[in-house]
Amino acid sequence: MLRRNSLALITTLAVLFASLQSSAKEYQLQYPETRRVDQVDTYHGVEVADPYRWLEDDVRVSAEVADWADSQNQVTRTYLDRIKQRAAIHQRLTKLWNYERYSVPQQTAGRYFFRKNSGLQNQAVFFVADSYNSQGRVLLDPNTWSEDGTIALGATAVSDDGKLLAYSRKESGSDWSTIYLLDIDTGKQLPEKLRWTRWGNIVWNADSTGFFYTRYPEPEAGQQFQSLAINPRCCFHRLGDSQDQDQLVYQRPDHPKWSFWIQRTDDNRYLVMSISRSTDPQNQVLLRPVAAPLDSKWMPLVEDFENEFSLIGNEGAKLLFLTDLDAPTKRVVAMPTDNPGREHLTEVIPASDATLESVTLLDEKLVASYLRDVATEVRIFSTAGLPLRELELPGVGSAHGFGGRQTDTETFYAFTSYATPTSIFRYDMKTGKSTKIRAPQVEFDPDQYVVRQAFFESKDGTRVPILLSHRHDLKRDGKRPTLLYGYGGFNISLSPHFSVTYATWMEMGGIVAVPNLRGGGEYGEAWHEAGKKLNKQNVFDDFIAAAEWLIAEQYTSSEKLAIMGGSNGGLLVGAVMTQRPELFGACLPAVGVMDMLRYHQFTAGHFWRDEYGTTDDPEEFKALLAYSPYHNLRPGVQYPATMVTTADTDDRVVPMHSFKFGAALQNAQAGPAPVLLRIEKRAGHGAGTPISKRIDLAADSWAFLWERLGMAAKKN
C-alpha cells in the first residue's frame, strides 16, 4: 500500500509541476513508466512480440497492475481537470439527465411491472401497479443496496400467479449475478440466494413452486473476473431448497463452451431448449414435455448450428420460429413437434426486403417488427400469415417491446429517435389503437435539431447508410466538430435512439454521425456475414469511408473529426486509428477488444470465435494479426489524441485489452497529442453503471473533445 501511494504521489506531482502555468492542450504529459517484457509467441511459424503481457493480470488482484492503473488515472484526471469547460459540460449533462424515465411495462396475472428512474437516481427502481397507467408502489430499490449505487438490478421474472418475484443482483458491473426471491404482496425477502449465475434466463414453472435457471461452476480464488465462462448447467430450483439441492436439467460437459436458453410455452405444454456455441444467432433446438420428469431426455428438433431458430410460441403441437433458413432477412415458419426437422417446415410469414427483427404471438396474432433502412416498421399478421394491418408509429425512429403472453389482448412498446426522448405506448390488439401512457419531460427542444439519413459508398462500392443529427442552423463549411460513432459486428443493429450525451454534444454545436456498418444486422444475415471473420476489414473500410464522406461533403475536417465506439466498437476505433491515424482529430475507444490474438482466452471471449475467428486457424490468424489494434501500433507515428476508457470489473472485455493497447500507444506516440487511460473503479462493461458515473464519463469525454477539437464556447 505504501509503495502504491508513493508511486501515485510522485506521478501526480511530476505532472502538476510540469504543467503548472500552461493549459491542458499545451503542456507535455509525463506518462507512468510501463515495464516491458521479452514475451514472444509463435503462431504458425510467425513470431509475435507481446511486451505488455504482464498487464493481463487482474487489476483487482495484482498490486503491480493496480499501481500502474492508479498512476494512469492520476495523469488522466490532472489533464481533464485543467479543461475549464468541463464543469459547465458536467452541469449541463446533469440537468439534462434529470427527467423521469420508464421501461416498457410487463403484465402478469393482472399486475403491471416496470422500472422507473426519477431522474438522477443511480439505478432505476422496480415497481408493481394494478393498472398500466398507475404510479404503483416500489418493490425493489437498488439504490439502497450500496452507498455508491454500484449494485444493480439484473434479470426479473414474475411467477404465473403474480405473487413471487425472482430477480438477480449484479455488483460493480460484473456479468456475475446472484438470484434472490421476493414476496410481491408483502415485500418480504425469501431466504433463497443462488450464486454463480451469469447470462441464462429465469423461467418459472406453472404452479409457481420453482424455476429453471443456468449457473456456472464457482471459479477458483482470484479468477472470478478472468477465467473462461465454461461448463454451464441448466438447473431447477424448488422453493425452500438450498442451491446444492437444485436438480440438474441439462448440461454438455462434452461441449463446455456451449450456452443454454430455456423457454416454457404459455400453454404449459413444452419446454424448449435453445443451445448456442457463440454469439452468432444460429442455434440448436431441443424439446421436452413439461409433464416429463426433470431428468428426462430431450428430443432434438434442430441438431446443428446452420440456422437461427428463435421460438415465438406454439399453436398446440405446432411450434412457430423466427428463422434465417433460406431467408437472410428472416421469416416465420411452423414446425410440427411430432414430425420435426427442416424438411417438415411450413412458411407462415415469408421474407421481405426489410429485415425481420422480432415476432411476438399475442391474441392469436403475430406482431412482426421490421427494420427498413434502420427505421422500425411493425406489421400485424394472422397466425396463418395473412396481413391484417400496420401499426402506425409516431415518426421515423426505433420501437421495441411488444411482449406478453399469447392470450394477452394488450401489449406495450417504446418509441424513440435521436431527437425524440423515449415514450411508452399501450397497443390494443383488438382495436389496433396505440395510446401514449408515459411521455418524458426533457429540457431539450427537438424542433431545434434535424435527423436525416444519407448513403455513401465504401471502398468496394457497397452502399452504406449513415444517420446525421445536428442543429438546424448548421453551416456546412468543413469546420463542424463531428462525432463519428460505430459498431459493426455481432449482428447488432444501430437504430436511432435518444441519448442525453448525444443531445448535449449537439447543443455544444457538434454533429452526431452514425453509419450502419457491415457486420451489424441492419440488412439481415448477409450484412452480418460481410463483416465477420475474414471479412472483418470491410467494417473498418466502411468506417473510414464514412469519415472521408463527411469531409468530402463539407461537414467537417480531419482536425474536427472524433471517432468513438465501445466493445466491438472499441476494436473498430483501435483498428481504424492504426490504419489511418492522419484521418482523425481525436479517438475515444471504450472497453475495446484490442488484442485479437488472445481475446478468446478470457471470460466470455470464447463466445466470439465465430465472429472474429481465432489464431488456431492459419488464415484467421493472418487476418487477425493484420488489424489487431495492439499489434499494429508503430513507433514513430503521430497518432491522434486518444482517451482509452475501461473499468476494473469489466469481465466481458477484460481491461487488459485497454491496458496493453494504451501502454503500447503511449510508447509508440511520436506526436504531441495526448494518450490517456481512464479506468473506472467498481464498474464493468457498461450495464448497471450508476448514473453518476455515466455523467462523469460523458463529461470527461466531451471535455476532452472540446479541448482537442478546438470547440468554442459560443453557438456554431
DSSP 581: G
Residue 16 CA to residue 24 CA, distance in Å, equals 11
Pairing of strands 365-372, 355-362: antiparallel
598: nearest Cα among 566, 576, 630: 630
Bridge partners of 215, per DSSP, are 197, 233
Q: Residues 6 or more apart from 125 whose CB is under 8 A from it? A: 115, 116, 117, 118, 138, 140, 141, 142, 143
Q: Which residue type occupies 397?
A: G
The active-site residue, picked from 470, 528, 631, 685, is 685
Active-site residue flag, 567: yes
Helix (H, G, I), strand (E, B), or coil: what is residue 498?
coil
Residue 42 CA to residue 603 CA, distance in Å, equals 23
Bridge partners of 647, per DSSP, are 680
User: C-alpha 382: how far from its chain's center?
Assistant: 33
Active-site residue flag, 168: no
In the chain, the N- to C-terminal Cα span, in Å, equals 49
Residue 533 CA to residue 519 CA, distance in Å, equals 10
Q: Residues 6 or more apart from 91 whose CB is under 8 A from it? A: none
Output the CA–CA distances (angstroms, integers) from residue 457 to 461, 538, 547, in the order listed: 5, 12, 11
Residue 421 CA to residue 397 CA, distance in Å, equals 11
Residue 628 CA to residue 615 CA, distance in Å, equals 12
Output the CA–CA distances (angstroms, integers) from residue 712 to 84, 480, 481, 585, in the order listed: 12, 11, 10, 16
Burial class (CB in 10 A: 0-12, 13-18, 19+), 582: exposed
| Helix or strand run (H / E) with residue 565 | strand 561-566
Phi (first) and psi of residue 123, to 5 degrees: -130, 145
Q: Residues 6 or more apart from 543 whose CB is under 8 A from it? A: 484, 486, 488, 515, 517, 563, 572, 576
Residue 208 CA to residue 159 CA, distance in Å, equals 6
Q: Kindly write down the DSSP assignment for every residue of 344-385, as one continuous string.
A: G-EEEE---SSEEEEEEEETTEEEEEEEETTEEEEEEEETT-
Q: Kindly write down the DSSP assignment for every residue of 9-47, as one continuous string.
A: HHHHHHHHHHTTTS-TTTSPP-PPP------EEEETTEE
Bridge partners of 378, per DSSP, are 369, 391
Sheet bearing 331-336, strands edge to edge: 309-315, 318-323, 331-336, 346-349
Torsion angle defined by CA atoms of residues 235, 236, 242 and 245, in that order, rounded to the nearest 10 degrees: -70
Q: Are 518 and 442 in contact (CB under 8 A)?
A: no
Output the CA–CA distances (angstroms, integers) from residue 121 to 117, 124, 149, 155, 651, in the order listed: 6, 7, 9, 19, 25
Q: Which residue type occupies 59?
A: V
The active-site residue, picked from 159, 369, 434, 567, is 567
CB burial readout 239-256, b (16+ within 10 A) else e:
eeeeeeebeebbbbeeee
Cell readout for 45 is 511459424
Helix (H, G, I), strand (E, B), or coil: what is residue 292?
coil
Active site residues: 567, 685
